[in-house]
Amino acid sequence: MSTEQPAGDQADVLELPATPRATDIALNELELVYAFIYARVGNRADTEDLTQQVAMKAIPRLREGAPASAIRGYLFATARSVLGGFWSTRLGLSEAELREDLAMAIPPGPPSEEGAETVQLILAQLSDNYRRVLQLRFLHGYSLKEVAAEMNSTVGAIKVMQLRALRAAAKVRLGE
């Protein structure tokens, strides 16, 4: 390997990458936390608030030099805690009362890729009518009236069917 020394004072300096700080690693990991929370509360405003809460709770306690995997584990444990607090506050229930639904709102396992296929997996386990009403409403964005027309039914009946379909969807477990 040859090295050429440039003339004069303008020597090239090899800039070694600095060791990433825990907060920098955490900021990248928080992207995953954001997606994880969004997939459970379903809207941007609440997701931003909760992600910020996770960051403010967890980051002051991260050790410099901690590996990214440890930081991720800690951030997700904090995210689960924050989600527990969110649902218990919004629903006016203690976290102990909420625990039956924790699997839906706050899965105990590690985060996994979640997306449109998660919806399909949930829907696949429902009866035809329940699946159809949720597909039209959530995936196609139909109004109740449009769903009723599509399914040859009434708005009232579709509303009841939607409620029952959501209750059934809540019981679906995806191996979390």
Partner 1 sequence: MNHMPENRVDKIVADLLRGRRLKLRGGDAEEKAAITAAARLAGTRQGPQRMHPEFRKRLSRALEDTPEEGWVTRRAALVAGLGLAAGAAGGAFFGRAMEPKAVVKAGEPINPVNGRWIDVAAMSDLVEGQGKHVVAGSVGAFLFRRGDSVTAVSSICSHLPCELWWDRKGANLACPCHPATFNSDGRSTDPYGPPPLNTVHVRLTSAGRVEVLGTE
Which of 23, 153 has the CB closer to partner 1? 23
Which of 8, 110 has the CB closer to partner 1? 110
Q: Are 87 and 105 in contact (CB under 8 A)?
A: yes
Per-residue burial over 53-78, b if 16 or more Cβ lie within 10 Å, else e, is bbbeebbeebeeeeeeeebbebbbeb
Residues recorded for the chain: 176
In angstroms, the Cα distances linking 57 to 24, 76, 129, 148 are 16, 12, 43, 46
Sites for partner 1 among residues 6-45 (CB under 8 A):
23, 26-27, 30-31, 34-35, 38-45
What six digits make up the tokens of 88? 């218990």
What six digits make up the tokens of 136? 């039209």
Per rule CB under 8 A, count of chain residues that contact partner 1 = 76
Sites for partner 1 among residues 95-134 (CB under 8 A):
95-99, 101-102, 104-106, 108-109, 113-116, 118-119, 122, 134
Binding mask 53-72 for partner 1 (x = CB under 8 A): --xxxxxxx-----------
What six digits make up the tokens of 3? 């090295």
Which of 18, 45 has the CB closer to partner 1? 45
Tell me: does residue 173 bind partner 1 (CB under 8 A): no
* Residue 86 C-beta: closest distance to partner 1, Å: 9
